Amino acid sequence: MSKILRVNMTDQKVKSEDVPEKYRLIGGRGLTSAITCDEVPPTCHPLGPNNKITFAPGIVTGSGAPTAGRLSVGCKSPLTGGIKEANSGGIASDKLARLGIKAIIVEGQPKDKGKFWVLKVNKDGAELMPAEAGWLGNGLYEAYPKMLKKFGEKVGIISIGVAGEMLMSMAGICVNDPENRPSRYAGRGGVGAVMGSKGLKAIIVDETGGSSVSLADSEAFNTGRKKLTDALRQHDITKPGGTLNTYGTAALVNVINEAGAFPTRNFSSGRFEGASKISGETINETCKKRGGVGATGHRGCTGCIIQCSNVYPKEDGTELVSCQEYESVWSLGANCGIDSLDVTGELVRLCNDYGLDTIEAGATIGVAMEAGLAKFGDGKKAIELMHEIGKGTPLGHILGGGAALTADTFGIVRCPTVKRQSMPAYEPRAIKGIGVTYATSTMGADHTSGYTIAPEILGVSGKMDPASKGVEKAEASRNFQYATAFIDSSGHCLFIAFAILDIPSGLEGMVEECNGVLGTNWTVDDVGRIGGDIVKMERAFNEAAGFTNVDDRIPEFMKYEMLPPHNVVYDVPDEVLDKVHNP
């Protein structure tokens, strides 16, 4: 019997509630967004007592479905001021689902500022206990082993780092990977600061005695699981030995760079001369050459059959970090003019340690470099700036507030944000459709919320000219935003999209798995409808929080600064942007 845990941090009481009928057929992002919309006043202060933060596994998480271990974290964002869902892999979500927990809602605020608790969840229920001194104020590479020692090696840990404790807007929420590294993140939008504002350091999930999610229709589920598994094993991007498995997400570095859309030195160029040195190919070769613990095709999340993670070794073969992702080697690499994986690896490790979103962190250092705090390419100085954040110095607090706050502080016009959230690793001037998504997503600039890169650059799910700027881009972005909201609710990793967009039976399989768990009769035609309802609900929250279509815009500098090598500006008309949500 699934349940919702309600954790009141004002009086440190935990209640178990039945799942209301209206939440029965949703999960993941659909559920976190519904709870945020139903229970959080849109105009509340994101770090005040009236915001709530919700954690939810997806519909099929914990069922044995492939690549379905995602955790959704939802709240009002201190970075954007709008609704937020950040999404993580790792091992905790599967455990929550196996304990029958559909969501954990954390509300209220303790009277004692600076005091932190840990929520322990197991088959018997949940309880809050004071966080031990050694878990606080330290990096997560130090805190995780201490928490594991206390709670056992097999627990899932959902925790903030010092950045979350200090309520910084670029603080993420960390989940341990299968080898218990603090390395998988619900990174974006400052969800870690909201968790910190509740005085909640960590959620410890002990699934001992739990069981697989119950199935309403096991035949439908098994049929669906097989179809999806077959599609994932067949598609060149997701199959064993395929692109993601061999090169990781950083396989994208070269293709986006070649397309002239790889943001370089704070979005001043679309091509980075050092791109190949930080590419997935180089990660793969270095892992082989240095040996030791180095590995590609590493599994970062429970039940994943794609396995796109890596463990990047130092020269002596010992571990530098897991994982060097595309977004991270871009933000902390090319965007800062840095062409060394040893430096990006160290910066990623610091983000993991302090509890930071690597995208926002790299974009912020890029802005700081533009402001003269360091020279582009100066890895040593970038590491020092990261330590400022970790130490919580006054400068560190400014940087920890993200790219927009840093740009405001230092008078930088070239600030690559939408709704104050930094753009990820695709230049909208060179790939217009992803700019439509950045502008109109309910989340602020976010590639995952409507990944038009697939047809615009990768030739997945058809082909679309990246330079076109008509209504077809609004339609493509809308369709991707809707489909993504469904996948984010299913509990599947968004990377299944590469296979299911090209292989129709894979898409059917995902829907049939959901039917198998829920007892619904959805078809593939319901995906867009259900996802669309989620996006519309999120957008209504943002409107009530004060957002209008004027907020759905790309930063002005991109409309008059030409981006090399194609020498293009962002010229998608506002009317096209407005058509995404008003077709």
Distance of CA 110 to the CA centre of its chain: 28
Interface residue with other proteins among 18, 38, 124, 236 (CB under 8 A) is 236
255 near other proteins, rule: CB under 8 A: yes
193 near other proteins, rule: CB under 8 A: no
CA angle 168, 12, 45 (to 5 degrees): 35
Count H helices, E strands: the chain?
A: 23, 17
Q: Which is nearer to other proteins, 198 or 432 (CB)?
A: 432
Interface residue with other proteins among 237, 382, 404, 535 (CB under 8 A) is 237
The nearest distance, CB 75 to other proteins, in angstroms, is: 23
Write out the binding residues for other proteins, residues 296-335 only, by CB under 8 A.
308, 326-327
Separation CA 528–CA 207 (nearest Å):
34
267 near other proteins, rule: CB under 8 A: no
Interface residue with other proteins among 224, 260, 337, 355 (CB under 8 A) is 260
Separation CA 45–CA 50 (nearest Å):
7
Q: How far apart are the first and last CA of the chain?
A: 41
Other C-beta atoms lying within 10 Å of the C-beta of residue 52: 25
The residue whose two tokens read 């929080």 is 545
The nearest distance, CB 411 to other proteins, in angstroms, is: 33
Interface residue with other proteins among 42, 46, 280, 345 (CB under 8 A) is 280
Q: Which two tokens stand for residue 371?
A: 């402001």
Residue 541 phi/psi, 5-degree rounding, is: -60, -45
Q: Which is nearer to other proteins, 163 or 443 (CB)?
A: 443
Q: Facing residues of 5 across strands?
A: 16, 104
568 near other proteins, rule: CB under 8 A: no
229 near other proteins, rule: CB under 8 A: no
Q: Which is nearer to other proteins, 62 or 189 (CB)?
A: 189
329: helix, strand or coil: helix
Specify the stretch interacting with other proteins by CB under 8 A; choose among 161-169, 237-245, 297-305, 520-528: 237-245
Question: Residues 466, 472: contact at Cβ < 8 Å?
Answer: no
What is the secondary structure of 519-581 as a DSSP string? -----THHHHHHHHHHHHHHHHHHHHTT--GGGS---THHHHSPBTTTTB-----HHHHHHTT
Specify the stretch interacting with other proteins by CB under 8 A; choose among 55-63, 129-137, 240-248, 403-411: 240-248
Interface residue with other proteins among 250, 283, 485, 554 (CB under 8 A) is 250
What is the secondary structure of 440-463 as a DSSP string? H-TTSS-STTS-THIIIII--SS-
What track of x and - describes contact with other proteins for positions 421 through 450 (by CB under 8 A)?
--------------------------xx--
Q: Which two tokens stand for residue 292?
A: 């030791």
Separation CA 289–CA 181 (nearest Å):
23
243 near other proteins, rule: CB under 8 A: yes
Q: Which is nearer to other proteins, 198 or 265 (CB)?
A: 265
Interface residue with other proteins among 10, 43, 276, 318 (CB under 8 A) is 276
Q: Which is nearer to other proteins, 151 or 498 (CB)?
A: 498
Other C-beta atoms lying within 10 Å of the C-beta of residue 395: 16
Least Cα distance to 66 among 523, 509, 515 occurs for: 509
Specify the stretch interacting with other proteins by CB under 8 A; choose among 15-23, 239-247, 360-368, 517-525: 239-247
Question: Residues 105, 14: contact at Cβ < 8 Å?
Answer: no
Residue ranges in contact with other proteins by CB under 8 A: 235-238, 243-244, 246-252, 254-255, 258-260, 271, 276, 279-281, 308, 326-327, 447-448, 451, 454, 457-460, 463, 465-466, 494-495, 498, 565-566
